[in-house]
Structure 1
Amino acid sequence: MQSAAYHLENTWSPEGGKHGRLTLTLFNFSGAPLSNFRLAYTTLTRFIDPKVCENAVFVRRNANFHEFAPPAGLSLAPGESWTFTVSSLHRVAKHCTDGAKSAYITLEDGRHINVFTSDLLLDGRASEPPPVLLPEGRLELPFAIQPWPASIDLKPGEGFPVALYPAKGTDAASVKALATAQAHFRRLFPTSHIPFSLVAVPQGKALRFVERSALAAEAYELSFGADEITLAFSDDAGRLYGLTTLAQLLDGARREPGKFRFPASGSIADQPRYSWRGCHLDVSRQFVPKADVLRLLDILAWLKLNIFHWHLTDDEAWRLEIRAYPQLTTLGVLRGPDEPLLPQLGNGAEPVGGFYSQDDVREIVAHASALGIEVVPEIDIPGHSTATLVALPDLADGQEAPESYHSVQGYPNNALNPAIESTYEFLAKVFDEMVELFPSQYLHIGGDEVANGSWLASPLARKLMEKEGISGTFALQSYFLRRIKAMLSKRGRKLAGWNEVAHGGGVDPESTLLMAWEKPEVGIELAREGYEVVMTPGQAYYLDMVQADAWQEPGASWAGTVPPAHTYAYEAEGDFPEELRHLMKGVQACIWQENYTSRDYFNRLVFPRLPAIAEAAWTPKAQKDWLRFAAIVPLSPKL
């Protein structure tokens, strides 16, 4: 592979401004002088004041995209470098991923060339490597089950069967479930021996299925005898979870026989702690290919998670094909130097796109359903709508000043305007197509991070506020979301959203599910207002957060440091009063992808914290054990 002709080094220093200073150095390793060029880079540590940079000319910024030019007349001969500093930063850099994620130069002739971008270095302080985050662990019972069951009374055997097969007379539905479990295991572990067979196997063990209506939804019981194993269940989900537990037991005993055993006798009685056991995936910041989404669903099913919250749109891209508006997945997905959307979050000179066709969606939803997973789609409105407004500029108030407000991520005027009637016509067509694609009872509409001050410079919005007798951004947002809720109700869907949906008067709590992400106390406040709540606080369940304080630990840090031990130990119910606990529906992991520029980053940040959340969602508090979890979790599949 040819070496890059240009390299960018970047260093953060705590000196030189309220939030420190970035020093950037561009090296020219090409064989020609470099002059009359511009340097663009993307970073989450954004530059604010154009006047506070030295030895460079500020050109423009859009959210995480920054562009500078060298001083007039500067020319870099081969082997020379240009250094400049930026001192007006919106926050302190705390970790190596807070620097430039990507860079490119634009030559005098308009060509764009990628620049190799180094790690962000730390000036004047020790740059510690990340610590070991997972202990070796300890097992009191030698069984590889995750999440751990509600009740377990097993005796380990000396060996293990070659495979488990259906007992004579097994009904067709249970044989089909066994086939589903076979295929599921093979996809997750292509080189491992499948724990199940559909025909009797020498040295195998028979598996008898018993439908038992008295068991709770999603519950199962396993009884291990000398001649056969009995799996009791009351619904398809419980049957599949029982098969998953058997697959884990047999796979663990086979892969690490000195550590894990297969039961010789005893029983398991198991059911989930919460009905909502979710994992959210943001595919707007970084596109995730269909094959990877399908594998993630397989991993969720292995961990007995039953909700896939699919974050399909945001400022950075609109990823869902809507046939009424094809421009959403042409203009609204392309990021690049000359594309409708500027590079962000690790994009460079080459344009990037990606979206899911409606056929892709049908395949993903069907795959999830076969594994007992409900797909809850999200289009993020009214905020986080830069990509939508780029694709459909007529949805903006043309009289509104171009940069009258900015989102927390730095996007200007990024919220759909509640005063423009065509906004609702647009969303009606979007919802009509979504309800055909997604059978979930919920449609998630975001509702988060609308900047205070949004729409206040819009003459149309001011006229609407006067007409409705309301004032301020959040009263307008409430007006908007109430109309959206009515539109969803008309289509037989319930509204799900982030906790800010309750701002400004909120919406009717009836048939509304909100996700508490800003801090744990928000969930209790929402429940007091009558909303059903899913707990997904950034301080424990956001899997983009750093796992250690060390500089070289990757990830975001706005919600603090979230090591796996903290994620595992966190109790989402917290101080929920007993009378409100019926409104707390469950917990959810959130995968936000600002920092996920590679599969390695994904796996490092998601695991083992995703299995930790799965155990918190399933296992009773009294049965949780961090050291046992640490001993078993290395067996977990990754993306």
Structure 2
Amino acid sequence: MRLHLEHHLIANGEAGSRLSVTLSNQSDSILDDWHLAFSCIRRLAANSLTCGSLKQVGSLCRLTPPESARVLAPGQHFYTEFEVTLPHITLQGHGITEAVAVSQYAMHKVEVAPLQIRDRMPFRDASTDRSLVKSTVIAITPQPAQLMVQSGSFTLDSRCQTQCGTPLAQAALQWFADELVQRHHLTFTEHHEFSRSGLISFQMDSQCREGSYRLDVKTDHIQIQASEECGFFSAVASLLQLIPLQSDNSMLFVLPCLTIQDKPRLGYRGMMLDCVRHFHSVSKVKQIINQLARLKFNVFHWHLTDDEGWRIEINAYPALTEIGAWRGPNEQLPAQFSHLTERYGGFYSQQDIREVVAYASARGITVIPEIDIPGHSRAAIKALPELLYDAQDESQYISVQHFNDNVLSPGLDGTYTFLRTVLDEVCELFPAPYIHVGADEVPEGVWSRSPSCQQLMAQLGYTDPKELQGHLLRFAEQYLEQKGRRMLGWEEVVHGEKVSTETVIFSWQSEKAALECIGKGHDVVLQPGQFLYLDMVQSHCVDEPGLDWAAILPLEKVYHYDPLANIPADKQDKVLGVQVALWSETVVDEHTLDYLLYPRLFAAAEVTWSESRQWYQFLRKLNNHLIELEQLGISYCRNGIFDGYKQWAC
């Protein structure tokens, strides 16, 4: 059966937007006793529907026609209108992205035409013109603190040998060897001869502090010096980028002689990846981690639980992944965002997690898990209702993502049993000294009509339900402290004012929250959506993938973010570092993931590492990196990357 849906933006203003929807039966069969299921990331006003009835759970909407329109004959169409509560629809992704007509006996895929939006750029220009960009021989990103080019060159080939002068360098040396095999098909032997020619040496230097390193490339040898394991990893990241992408016919790689003395601007240099809204394979996660290592990031923040799925295997609660990891027509969790007609999801087994943690550690990267509480917990609640569902709670609320049943109850004993059990297994799987507990976007109205929560408030003398959020998070903080872990949370983790200043604050809505929390004594990590949310669109084109609630975020805007510009000098020691984020509501496949991540990740690398940087120099280096991405089959964004360079070059 061929069904076609068109929808148009017929009003767009501050108060909200209005869409028209037309479903046409373009087949020879009758569509009988039907309703329309479709995905829309925006919140719809159900009472605004002009024909039929409308319900929404998350991004999944169900439109039921009136009795008079339950039969759609060949050639007929059904028309209705409804309002979107948020103003200014600007992207085709804000409309209906996928739809299916459900009849009594079958599900029929619906062809969805892109949302029609006037007065916007109509399409992405997928081309990128590198013809004016002069490539540079030395394309090290992020930009080193000091780089001195010298005369001469070093020849890298299979006759070279390696020497490890300290156990602190062993892991970095192994990563270097692994990369040479995988990328350049080169293998070395461990140094045994007295000769220095062709030697790549890793040596301890106590003068190198705070992650710094020294890299010397001479005509006959390469020497790396550092005093910490992280310094050796950073040195290897620079050395790998010096190796030409192609060798000559004799498998010889010629490196320029130079000296680099380098250190990071910030200690915490992270990336967060949401693997819940859409699931990403272990192989893809590893590919990203390896790119992070090559760009001198040192933290991979793994968002593993949310309303739309539970992605981490917990042995004590198999239902979390048997039920909570899957969405679809016949699942406890309805389809969200995409894949409306099929079972969709996945999870990481404990063996998968150990493998990823070990892989990251072998590249100098710490993996920090996020278990999002007390909001964003719908998948867990649906999977474990016997522990987490409060049957007497009649509170009325709606979350930002359009759920009314996604918050853990501080009034249930099962909540604390659940947290202790889950955190026990999480701490066993992740050796990192940090655990992230989310704590964001708990909606207004929650717990207000729960007898158990009201009883707890009276018992403890609380007057505001928000204090219950602080109460539950303080429990998590103290439990993690007993296990030798420090709690991390989004800026809302301080709501209710119960957690201690040992909790690290990740500010995401703006830097204002970071300054407020610094004033209260917290350490912070900066992750402002206006500059570092890589799920934001990169242009004004209507078909650009991503969201735009925080910003239009092209490459240049990411690059020019200065994380310390608005932090007073006497408070900068409270800024542990910076993190970029990629949320996955719109990341339906690996192509979209690559498109949103690259090349903006290269810009973010210089933001986190480099004290001094220069935009046009960065673009020249980027030209080299894009060629490497192409060789790896990574489908980066090509839209307007070098426009600024063209203007400068001309």
How far, CA to CA, are the matches of 1:157 and 1:9 in structure 2?
Answer: 64
1:277 equivalenced with 2:269 (yes/no): yes
Q: Tell me the residue number matched to 1:258.
A: none
Q: CA deviation at 1:569?
A: 0.6
Following superposition, the deviation at residue 361 of structure 1 comes to 0.8
Aligned to 2:119: 125
Equivalent residue for 2:641? none
With 20-29 and 326-335 compared, the bigger mean Cα shift is at: 20-29
Task: Name the CA distance, whole Å, in 2 between partners of 1:636 and 1:614.
Answer: 17
Letter of the structure 2 residue corresponding to residue 547 of structure 1: Q
CA distance in 1, matches of 2:317, 2:554: 43
State the match for 2:644 in structure 1. none
CA distance in 2 between counterparts of 1:37 and 1:380 reads 37
| 1:355 equivalent among 347, 369, 379 | 347
Superposed, 1:241-252 pairs within 5 Å as 241-252=234-245
2:497 and 2:628 map into 1 onto residues whose CA distance is: 44
Structure 1 runs not aligned, ≥5 long: 256-260
The corresponding residue for 1:18 is 15
- Partner residue in 2 for 1:397: 390
Contact 2:21 2:81 in 1 (8 A): yes
1:532 aligns with 2:523: yes
Give deviations 1:376-401, integer Å, cap 9, x for gaps.
Answer: 00100001111111112232321112
State whether residues 368 and 434 of structure 2, in contact with CA within 8 Å, keep that contact through their aligned partners in structure 1. yes
SS in 2 for 1:596: coil
Amino acid at match of 2:123: P
User: Per-residue deviation at 1:166?
Assistant: 2.2
**Cα displacement (A) at 1:446:** 0.6
Cα gap change, 1:390 to 1:586, in 2 (>3 Å): same
Are the structure 2 counterparts of residues 163 and 144 from structure 1 closer, same or farther at C-alpha, using a change threshold of 3 Å? farther
2:55 matches 1:51: no
| Cα distance change of structure 1 residues 63 and 172 upon mapping to structure 2, 3 Å threshold | closer
Cα pair 1:253 1:262 within 8 Å, conserved: no
Deviation at 1:311, TM superposition (A): 0.6
Shift of 1:253: 7.0
Query: Distance between the aligned counterparts of 2:13 and 2:403, measured in 1?
Result: 26
CA offset digits 1:106-136 (Å, max 9, x no partner): 1122x323323332221x4344324689885
**Secondary structure in structure 1 of the residue aligned to 2:110:** strand
Offset at residue 623 of structure 1 (A): 6.0
Contact 1:12 1:20 in 2 (8 A): yes
- 1:148 partnered with 2:140: no
1:557 aligns with 2:552: no
- Residues 154 and 51 of structure 1: CA distance in aligned 2, closer, same or farther (over 3 Å): same
TM-score, scaled relative to structure 2: 0.89
> Which has the larger displacement, 384-393 or 150-159?
150-159
Give the structure 2 partner of residue 459 of structure 1. Answer: 451
Alignment of 1:8 with 2:5, yes or no, is yes
Residues 280 and 590, structure 1, Cα contact 8 Å, conserved in 2 = yes
In structure 2, the CA distance between the partners of 1:313 and 1:76, relative to structure 1 (3 Å rule), is: same
- For the pair 1:208 / 2:201, whether they are aligned, the reply is yes
Residues 493, 159 of structure 1: CA spacing in aligned structure 2 closer, same or farther, 3 A cutoff? Answer: closer
Q: Within 2, Cα distance between the matches of 1:169 and 1:95? A: 54
Q: Distance in 2 between matches of 1:636 and 1:273?
A: 26
The amino acid that maps onto 1:125 is: D
Residues 508 and 535 from structure 1, CA distance in 2 versus in 1: closer, same or farther, beyond 3 angstroms?
Answer: same
1:172–1:163 distance in 2 versus 1, CA, 3 Å: farther
Alignment of 1:90-105 (within 5 A): 90-105=86-101
Deviation by residue 1:431-455 (Cα, 9 ceiling, x = unmatched): 1111110001011111111112211
Match of 2:558 in 1: 567
Query: What does residue 595 of structure 1 align with?
Result: 586
1:621 corresponds in structure 2 to 612
Change over 3 Å in CA distance of 1:220–1:173 after alignment to 2: closer
- Kindly provide the amino acid, as one letter, of the partner of residue 84 in structure 1: T
CA distance in 2, matches of 1:346, 1:279: 25
1:115 equivalent among 90, 102, 110: 110
- Check 1:636–1:571 CA distance in 2 against 1; reply closer, same or farther (3 A cut): farther
Cα distance, 1:621 vs structure 2: 3.4
Residue 639 of structure 2: aligned partner: none
Residues 147, 611 of structure 1: 8 Å contact kept: yes
Q: Which stretch of the first structure deviates more once superposed, 417-426 or 76-85?
A: 76-85
How many angstroms does 1:521 deviate by?
A: 1.9
Instruction: Answer yes or no: is the 8 Å Cα contact 2:135–2:624 preserved in 1.
Output: no
* SS of equivalent residue, structure 2 residue 100: strand
Task: Identify the match of residue 326 of structure 2 among 334, 337, 340.
Answer: 334
**C-alpha distance in structure 2 between counterparts of 1:299 and 1:65, whole Å:** 34
Indicate the SS of the match to 2:21.
Answer: strand
Matched, 1:418 2:413: no
Whole-Å separation in 1 of the counterparts to 2:417 and 2:171? 44
Deviation at 1:214, TM superposition (A): 1.8
Counterpart CA distance in 2 for 1:140 and 1:350 is 46
Deviation at 1:160, TM superposition (A): 5.5
2:211 to 206, 209, 218: 218
Structure 2: runs of 5 or more not aligned: 192-196, 636-650
Distance 1:163 1:151 in 2: 29
CA separation in 1, counterparts of 2:432 and 2:109? 42
Question: 1:183 pairs with 162, 167, 178, which one?
Answer: 178
Which stretch has the larger CA shift, 156-165 or 14-23? 156-165
What SS class does the counterpart of residue 516 from structure 2 fall into?
helix
C-alpha displacement of 1:540: 0.4
